Amino acid sequence: MKSYLAAAVQLNSLPDLDKNLAQAEDLIDLAVRQGAELVCLPENFSFLGDEDAKMAQAEAIAQASEKFLKTMAQRYQITLLGGGYPVPTGTGKVYNTALLVGSEGEELVRYEKVHLFDVNLPDGNTYQESQTVLAGMRLPPIHPSKEFGNLGLSVCYDVRFPELYRHLSQMGAEVLFIPAAFTAYTGKDHWQVLLQARAIENTCYVIAPAQTGRHNAIRQSHGHAVIIDPWGIILADAGGKPGVAIAAIEPSRLEQVRRQMPSLQHRVFV
């Protein structure tokens, strides 16, 4: 693992595939021009805001999303995370799939989101992700990278389930991806504290790309794409508008925190 710059991209995705991919490309370009070698896009980067339209176009969205990720990674010679897009399952539902692509456009690893967002919020909004999404059945994977460290995948609502991240840390994770489309209502109280907790308890870097703003008449996202160090310090925050959060991932910092706070070695119940 070397020292490198990572970027957590913040989008305002809409129910418009072409516009979303154009916005994502602009921000990937911005991140690369600032030196980022590992670039992460949020959940629903290619389509967000209308579930019926998403399901009607799911096959086209899946194909375009995967082609886009592989093309961008190869064009810019970066490792690129697509934090979540629909992949048809043949059951009438889709997997919410995160895909990590290498600099030659090759698929490195994929993860199908296991925890689905079925909630009734105090602001009156109801979300039933399981109506259209089939939960993944496999624990999230680790991608070992000599350049970027051991990379652990997850998606959005997963952040509320610490056992998933304990699994990743036990597998050797050093960097945790938490791409999201966190609601504005829950995000104002829970987003930052949950991300910091996952970083602190696992002594890992956290890279959390995010959605922001309004996606349709009902859905609004919190924003604040962040990169957090293993001590829980926020290194970069994209705020409330589309943009990028860029910070250095330093192996020496990871080693320092794990040496001074060796909590992973002190676990009693495993």
pLDDT (0 to 100) of residue 9 = 98
Which residues have a Cβ under 8 Å from the Cβ of 85 and sit 6 or more positions away? 44, 45, 46, 47, 61, 62, 65, 66, 96, 97, 99
pLDDT (0 to 100) of residue 76 = 98
pTM above threshold 0.95 = yes
- In the chain, the largest separation of any two C-alpha atoms, in whole Å, equals 52
pLDDT (0 to 100) of residue 270 = 78
pLDDT (0 to 100) of residue 123 = 85
pLDDT < 70 positions in the chain: none
Catalytic residues: 43, 113, 156
pLDDT (0 to 100) of residue 217 = 87
| Structure tokens given for 126 | 């109801």
The structural domains of the chain, with segments of one domain joined by +, span 4-266
* CATH architecture designation of domain 4-266: 4-Layer Sandwich (3.60)
pLDDT (0 to 100) of residue 267 = 94
